Structure 1
Amino acid sequence: MKLHKKTNRPLVLVSVMLAMFVGAVEATIVSTAMPAIAGELGGFSRYSWIFSAYLLMSTVTVLIYGKLADLFGRKPIFFVGLSIFLFGSVLCGFATSMEQLIVFRLIQGLGAGAVMPIATTIVGDIYSTEERAKIQGYLSSVWGISAVSGPVIGGLIVQYWDWKYVFWVNVPLGILAMVGIYFFLHEPKTERKVAIDYKGAVLLTTSLSIILFWLVEGGQSFNRSSSLSLLLIILGVALFILFIWIERKAEDPMMPFSIWKNPVILYANLVSLTTGVILIGVSSYLPTYVTGVMEQSAMIAGFTLTAMSIGWPIASSVAGHLLIRFGTFTVSFAGGISLVAGSLMFVAMTGESGPLWAAFSSFFVGVGMGLTSTSFIVTIQGAVSREQRGSATAANMFMRNFGNTVGAAIFGAVLNGSLMSAFRGKDLDYEVNDINLLLTEESRSTLGTTKMEILQQALDGSLQWVYVAVLLFAIISLLLILRIPRGKVVLHDNN
């Protein structure tokens, strides 16, 4: 492995982890501040779009940034992406309406698509396969730290300062990461002819934006069986098919489909899609179950979710050591078993199970995530050349993000449909929004015993269907993992 003599790997790693922390903490820190933001800016009906706008843009652009990093080098594209992200962060703090904040979150997401894949690709460039497997444990710990510290930092900022600083706190950390990358990472010069696939980039962005919009807003802004819904999904899929057709003929395609011919990469990416679905199912609805059905505080609900963030980095660190010894199949299979075990515990969970049961279920899912994600990213980065590493890493992260979006749509539809069915079945004059009354101790105290029992039974039964769906995706993940070639996969260190 040839490295530029001036590259300072430890300091580059610290800078990469800092950049990843800024990207990872964004979701949890903003979630905590959103009630205060909505209270000041109004526009509660657009509440979900504060998250959807960021998710849409970061998911759509991740593949494009991965390809650009392969063409022009990691540093310049990383700087462009992180600069856009920080610019959007500054603007978010100056928002005076919910509509403005949504636009600024789109700008933030436009830059965020570069941060995670390129940061991970940089690590793939400067470390060998054996080292990379161990370093992934450090990178995964960033997710755990952000999940634990994000709500705390967000809560302190809202309580003692102003919600604007929730966005502005990113700026000094992001600048510090850029300074570290600028001074300590030195990439080899490439003499590669650059051919930018503009058609592919436009078609990919347009098709995915339409499909993701349909997934996020379907059932809310418009009925999924409406003519508008049908038009959107047909247009999105048609444009994506056109994108694939053009990519196959492009001189230097935005998405090199040749890498998907490798069975390890194919099944690793498919499993990343299904685990992305599982992840959003657990993280979105576990706090609701713990507060609404178990009648626990928001802090206890946060603890049950934090258990997943503890299991994830621990498993990632272990996976790094096991991967070299046992290979991708064995480590990812163990992760698949852990996902199924955690999902089964969720299905078996009742209101009387208590928060410890919920925490252990969450922990097992976290272990499964850590084992699979680490083995996949290390294997994918080692299975392709340096010239394709950015695209391959970005494709894997895109599949996880896309799984999150698909999962949010599926589980939202399952939960709302089950709740409406429960209320209709008993001929009750309740609405889905009445469930909000279960989520705080103050609002629960305003409910009569009978109404609270009815609402809790409806929520419990509906979330059980969500967890059955989570279990189904865990089983699909395990079946896909069984398709991964056995034994140790031959990896390349062509840095």
Structure 2
Amino acid sequence: MPQIAGQLGDLQYYAWVFSSFLLAQTATTVVFGKLADLYGRRSVLLVSIGIFLVGSVLCGFAWSMPSLIVFRLVQGLGAGAIQPVSITVIGDLYATHERGKVQGWLASVWGVSSVIGPLAGGLIMQHLNWAWIFWINVPIGLAAAAGFYLFLRETVSTQERSVDAIGAGLFTVAIAALMVALTEAGPAGSGTAAIAALVCIAAGALFVVQERRARDPMIAFTLWARRTIAATNAVTLFSGMAVIGLTTFLPMYVQAVMGRSPLEAGFMLTAMVLGWPMAATVGARNFGRLGLRPILIFGAALLPVGAIPFVLLSPLSPPLVAGFGSLVMGFGMGFLSTAAIVLIQGSVGWAERGAATASNLFARNLGSTLGAAVLGTVLNASLARGHAGSLQQVQQLLAGHGSAAGAVASRAGLAHGLHLTFWGVLLIAGVTLALSVFVPQATKEHGAPT
């Protein structure tokens, strides 16, 4: 991504390439969950894969950062269904006592694909056009769609239900306005940020009113307010903020500050995506012996430990320093995320499990969205305080152009800004740990199947 930003220009919009995708994904997670109840899992998955593939093709044809942001938004709309509906399918197929083990298997599959992804991306950047980073999704997506179409069998209920379209629209507006307010914060964009903040407050207030009057609200506030769900989702939200800070800005530091290749930057993130499924599998096998809450707290404690190496990075640091930090944070997220989803699912009866699961995925996606925006704002503010033309020189640095003197100055300014974002990641990880101690012991509500 850093090289793509260097070629397309407008580096100040860098964080929006990630935020637009996460925004659309977050806004549609709960909506697609309801649509899956109405029209069946398979139909919703096939439609969402189609939308995602259209967005992927368009991303490859992007001619500027704003166009790439718009096409990433389309991608995010399709991606909004994939994770929640897939986990819903697991809930349909497996009993409660088997879900932890199955979640570990899913994390392993995700881990393998996540290892292949960064490595493939680095190879594509070195040997092909960057557009193929997006176009490679097409054959993979078509194969997945064929699998769902041929092998997923289900009986769709004819029960009449409604989708809270007004609530979904107000929620999307509120989150989008919040993103703009965070991204434009600072002297240069203070007017835009103020207007966006007002829109966010107004849309958020209307959203609350709508949800209280809707027959089938998008978010059931009574469910979200329960202590187990509220505390676990708060931990999940902040952990999502911490991880997106790593995945968004570590590649930029490795390539532009440390002078490493895109392939080496991919290896740094590979350490995290290796640790995540490994810890998820180990944690799932020990839920019965150690308990869900201790495993969740242990995972949360690993996040600040893993974030410490990033604030100690320098241009001369060995790549193993960043790799170690990524691995530890991956372990933390593996323990934390798997324990969180099983803890929430086990705290409710069968009739509420779908909504409760969606709430946790929503919290993680919202945390990722807010994290990309907040930490992107930190980086932009740091670069804006630098010397004149710093954004243009940093852009040339990422693209591999510019004078030697300008590269040295830009690298120093970028290193300072990225260190501030890494301190932000450490702070957010510390908050995650503090919140985890408020998660109650696992409980099982009346009516939950065994």
TM-score interval w.r.t. the shorter chain? Answer: 0.7 to 0.9
Task: Report deviation, 1:161.
Answer: 6.1
1:225 alignment partner in structure 2? 190
Alpha-carbon distance change, 219 to 229 in structure 1, aligned in 2, over 3 angstroms: closer
Unaligned runs of 5+ in 2: none
Question: 1:359 corresponds to which letter in structure 2?
Answer: G
Q: Over aligned residues, Cα RMSD in angstroms?
A: 3.3
The answer (yes or no) to whether the contact 1:70–1:389 under 8 Å persists in 2 is: no
1:205 aligns with 2:188: no
Bigger Cα Rg: 1
1:77 aligns with 2:16: no
Within a 5 Å distance, the mapping from 1:364-375 to structure 2 comes to: 364-375=328-339
1:464 aligns with 2:410: no
Question: 1:340 corresponds to which letter in structure 2?
Answer: P
Out of 56, 60, 66, the position equivalent to 2:33 is 66
The answer (yes or no) to whether the contact 1:269–1:396 under 8 Å persists in 2 is: yes
Out of 359, 373, 386, the position equivalent to 1:395 is 359
Question: 2: CA distance between counterparts of 1:298 and 1:88?
Answer: 24
Question: 2: CA distance between counterparts of 1:434 and 1:490?
Answer: 57
The answer (yes or no) to whether the contact 1:259–1:384 under 8 Å persists in 2 is: no
Question: 1:477 corresponds to which letter in structure 2?
Answer: T
Question: 2: CA distance between counterparts of 1:399 and 1:274?
Answer: 9
Which moves more between the two structures, 243-252 or 473-482? 243-252
1:379 aligns with 2:343: yes
Within a 5 Å distance, the mapping from 1:64-143 to structure 2 comes to: 64-92=31-59, 102-143=69-110
1:483 alignment partner in structure 2? 438
Question: 2: CA distance between counterparts of 1:164 and 1:359?
Answer: 27
Question: 1: CA distance between counterparts of 2:3 and 2:413?
Answer: 29
The answer (yes or no) to whether the contact 2:163–2:216 under 8 Å persists in 1 is: yes
Question: 2:359 corresponds to which letter in structure 1?
Answer: A
Alpha-carbon distance change, 300 to 158 in structure 1, aligned in 2, over 3 angstroms: closer
Unaligned runs of 5+ in 1: 1-30
Question: 1:243 corresponds to which letter in structure 2?
Answer: F
The answer (yes or no) to whether the contact 1:117–1:397 under 8 Å persists in 2 is: yes
Task: Report deviation, 1:255.
Answer: 1.0
Question: 2: CA distance between counterparts of 1:340 and 1:316?
Answer: 18
1:194 aligns with 2:158: no
The answer (yes or no) to whether the contact 1:64–1:201 under 8 Å persists in 2 is: yes
Alpha-carbon distance change, 49 to 286 in structure 1, aligned in 2, over 3 angstroms: closer
Question: 1:446 corresponds to which letter in structure 2?
Answer: A
Within a 5 Å distance, the mapping from 1:375-454 to structure 2 comes to: 375-421=339-385, 423=386, 431-436=390-395, 446-447=404-405, 452=408
Alpha-carbon distance change, 378 to 68 in structure 1, aligned in 2, over 3 angstroms: same
Once the two structures are superposed, residues 307-354 of structure 1 have per-residue CA deviations (whole angstroms, 9 ceiling, x without a partner) of 111111111111111223222210111101111211233334444542
Task: Report deviation, 1:443.
Answer: 5.2
Alpha-carbon distance change, 262 to 44 in structure 1, aligned in 2, over 3 angstroms: closer
Once the two structures are superposed, residues 25-78 of structure 1 have per-residue CA deviations (whole angstroms, 9 ceiling, x without a partner) of xxxxxx488369x56xx8888776554443332222112112222344322322
Question: 2: CA distance between counterparts of 1:349 and 1:159?
Answer: 25
1:317 alignment partner in structure 2? 281
Alpha-carbon distance change, 457 to 392 in structure 1, aligned in 2, over 3 angstroms: same
Question: 1: CA distance between counterparts of 2:375 and 2:444?
Answer: 38
Question: 1: CA distance between counterparts of 2:410 and 2:11?
Answer: 23
Which moves more between the two structures, 380-389 or 43-52? 43-52
Within a 5 Å distance, the mapping from 1:141-290 to structure 2 comes to: 141-156=108-123, 165-190=132-157, 192-215=159-182, 217-219=183-185, 223-226=188-191, 228-290=192-254
Out of 324, 336, 341, the position equivalent to 1:360 is 324
Task: Report deviation, 1:130.
Answer: 2.6
Alpha-carbon distance change, 387 to 84 in structure 1, aligned in 2, over 3 angstroms: farther
What TM-score do you get using the length of structure 2 for normalisation?
0.86
The answer (yes or no) to whether the contact 2:341–2:357 under 8 Å persists in 1 is: yes
The answer (yes or no) to whether the contact 1:276–1:400 under 8 Å persists in 2 is: yes
Once the two structures are superposed, residues 117-137 of structure 1 have per-residue CA deviations (whole angstroms, 9 ceiling, x without a partner) of 111221122112232111212
Alpha-carbon distance change, 380 to 182 in structure 1, aligned in 2, over 3 angstroms: farther
1:308 alignment partner in structure 2? 272
1:336 aligns with 2:300: yes
Alpha-carbon distance change, 185 to 258 in structure 1, aligned in 2, over 3 angstroms: farther
The answer (yes or no) to whether the contact 2:300–2:433 under 8 Å persists in 1 is: yes
- Report the 3-state secondary structure (helix = DSSP H, G, I; strand = E; otherwise coil) of the residue aligned with 2:217: coil
- Report the 3-state secondary structure (helix = DSSP H, G, I; strand = E; otherwise coil) of the residue aligned with 1:447: helix
- Report the 3-state secondary structure (helix = DSSP H, G, I; strand = E; otherwise coil) of the residue aligned with 1:121: helix
The answer (yes or no) to whether the contact 1:328–1:489 under 8 Å persists in 2 is: no
Task: Report deviation, 1:375.
Answer: 0.8
The answer (yes or no) to whether the contact 1:32–1:151 under 8 Å persists in 2 is: no
Question: 1:197 corresponds to which letter in structure 2?
Answer: D
Task: Report deviation, 1:165.
Answer: 4.7
Question: 2: CA distance between counterparts of 1:325 and 1:58?
Answer: 35
- The percentage of counterpart residues that share the same residue type is 41
Which moves more between the two structures, 83-92 or 117-126? 83-92
- Report the 3-state secondary structure (helix = DSSP H, G, I; strand = E; otherwise coil) of the residue aligned with 2:329: helix
Task: Report deviation, 1:114.
Answer: 1.0
What TM-score do you get using the length of structure 1 for normalisation?
0.79
Which moves more between the two structures, 368-377 or 107-116? 107-116
Which moves more between the two structures, 95-104 or 385-394? 95-104
Alpha-carbon distance change, 111 to 33 in structure 1, aligned in 2, over 3 angstroms: farther
Task: Report deviation, 1:147.
Answer: 3.1
Which moves more between the two structures, 152-161 or 196-205? 152-161
Query: Would you say how many aligned residue pairs link Structure 1 and Structure 2?
Result: 449
Question: 1: CA distance between counterparts of 2:203 and 2:401?
Answer: 47
The answer (yes or no) to whether the contact 1:121–1:390 under 8 Å persists in 2 is: yes
Alpha-carbon distance change, 212 to 345 in structure 1, aligned in 2, over 3 angstroms: same
Question: 1:187 corresponds to which letter in structure 2?
Answer: E
Question: 1: CA distance between counterparts of 2:175 and 2:360?
Answer: 16
Question: 1:179 corresponds to which letter in structure 2?
Answer: A
Question: 2: CA distance between counterparts of 1:351 and 1:166?
Answer: 27
Once the two structures are superposed, residues 261-315 of structure 1 have per-residue CA deviations (whole angstroms, 9 ceiling, x without a partner) of 3322111211111111111211222233334444444433332222111111111
Alpha-carbon distance change, 231 to 178 in structure 1, aligned in 2, over 3 angstroms: same
Alpha-carbon distance change, 174 to 305 in structure 1, aligned in 2, over 3 angstroms: closer
The answer (yes or no) to whether the contact 1:125–1:386 under 8 Å persists in 2 is: no
The answer (yes or no) to whether the contact 2:271–2:323 under 8 Å persists in 1 is: yes
